[in-house]
Amino acid sequence: MTLFDKFTPVRTAHQAIVDNGVDPFRLIVQHVFSPTEAMINNRRTILAGTNNYLGLTFDPQCIAAAREALERHGTGTTGSRMANGSFEGHVALEKELAAFYGCSTAIVFSTGYQANLGILSTLAGPEDVILLDADSHASIYDGCRLGGAEIIRFRHNDVNDLEKRLVRLGARATRTLIVLEGIYSMLGDRAPLAAIVAIKEKYGACLVVDEAHSLGVLGSHGRGLAEEAKLEDSVDFIVGTFSKSLGSTGGFCVSRRPELDYIRYMSRPYIFSASLCPSVVASTRMALKILEGNHQLRERLWENSHVLYEGLQKVGFSLGPEVSPVVAATVPSKEYAIAFWNGLIEQGVYVNLMLPPATPNGLSLLRCSVSAAHTTDQLTYICETFASLKEKLSELQA
């Protein structure tokens, strides 16, 4: 055995993908025209896999704010906030996030992935327990591992399984962190938050909700699942990202608990990572203002989500359990998924090819993400393309 033997199965799996068509990891986006269109493989392509839920990546106000910050503060911070200090934009963004959520404190991280690493690894250590939904994002799993806590998975959205595991912990339940997501990124379903909050309070546990895919999507003000369920006061920490509805990069955590202030001095991913570029901070601040003030974007997003979900359902695709901006079509095999994804690219439609082991229950998925910026014509074309390829590739399903 050598150090590199572990790469043999990966090499084999990768070659199988390459042999069946385009390698998704080597797909080149040559030019982006708008939130919903780009040039890919020299073809104008509809973007239906970018998580650009509110379509703010080309908003003129966001671009202008980023340009002004770029000219005023330069291209980057060249270091962490602990080492190089905070720029005024970092502090302003944290205050605005805290105010948006009605919380006392917010911390901004360089990516959404780092937000989960930084918060989860600091909240729960070797003497603690983390109960996480089995379908949690990779960043949640990695954040839990980094802290050294005991990790116990409960079945996806299974409240009874969660309670059974808390009961078994006995007195350790009060040293337990429950982690779940507002909208799950693979199938687009919501967590049963009210039932989980009731269990969390019954046993004295702590609750973190990752609102990455629900910020800007759920709630009357777009604050996510906790707002929609009217349970914001019962969630101890909310983690999120700027790379979905806010159209930039970065992550954050907000809380009503005073302990969040101290996490800033304890979290290695925060202390030792270069801080967000001023231009990114500026565009994010503007996008947050737009999210707060333009409820029509969220209404349009949900209209589009229904159009795509119902359109794909009508032509016979098995989808996630409920309508959301994440519309994932389950297909019968990896080979079918790869062939279908290549066919979509050839027809000018980009979606996410999701294969096991990254997917729940070994599913092969063609995952679409809807944007408020999609036109009815674009959504119709996506549904028609799915339908025509389904008929064309029917022999692979046999």
Given the residues 90, 213, 374, 390, select the one marked as catalytic.
213
Condensed to tens digits (0 to 9), the pLDDT of residues 239-294 reads: 999 999 999 999 999 999 999 999 999 999 999 999 999 999 999 999 999 999 99
Contact 249, 242 (CB under 8 A): yes
**Read out DSSP for 291-314?**
HHH-HHHHHHHHHHHHHHHHHHHH
Given the residues 244, 273, 275, 390, select the one marked as catalytic.
244
50 has a pLDDT exceeding 80: yes
Catalytic-residue membership of 390: no
pLDDT band at 358 (very low <50, low <70, confident <90, very high): confident
Going across the sheet that includes 129-133, the strands are 105-109, 251-255, 237-241, 206-210, 176-181, 129-133, 150-154
Cα angle 335-336-340, degrees, rounded to a multiple of 5: 120
| Class in CATH terms, 60-293 | alpha beta
* Sequence-separated (6 or more) residues with CB below 8 Å from residue 16: 334
Residues of the chain above pLDDT 90, percent: 88
With a threshold of 0.85, does the pTM exceed it? Answer: yes
Condensed to tens digits (0 to 9), the pLDDT of residues 20-38 reads: 766 777 789 999 999 999 9
Q: Region 121-126: what's the mean pLDDT? A: 96
Condensed to tens digits (0 to 9), the pLDDT of residues 319-347 reads: 999 999 999 999 999 889 999 999 999 99
Catalytic-residue membership of 31: no
Q: Region 222-237: what's the mean pLDDT? A: 98
What pLDDT, on a 0 to 100 scale, did the predictor assign at position 10?
82
Contact 36, 378 (CB under 8 A): yes
Catalytic-residue membership of 244: yes
16, 212, 325, 362 from 51: Cα distances, Å: 27, 10, 8, 22
What pLDDT, on a 0 to 100 scale, did the predictor assign at position 205?
98
Sequence ranges of the chain with CATH classification 3.40.640.10: 60-293
396 has a pLDDT exceeding 60: no
61 has a pLDDT exceeding 60: yes
Contact 131, 179 (CB under 8 A): yes
What pLDDT, on a 0 to 100 scale, did the predictor assign at position 1?
85
Sequence ranges of the chain with CATH classification 3.90.1150.10: 14-47+295-397
Given the residues 121, 185, 305, 369, select the one marked as catalytic.
185
CATH code for the part of the protein at 14-47+295-397: 3.90.1150.10
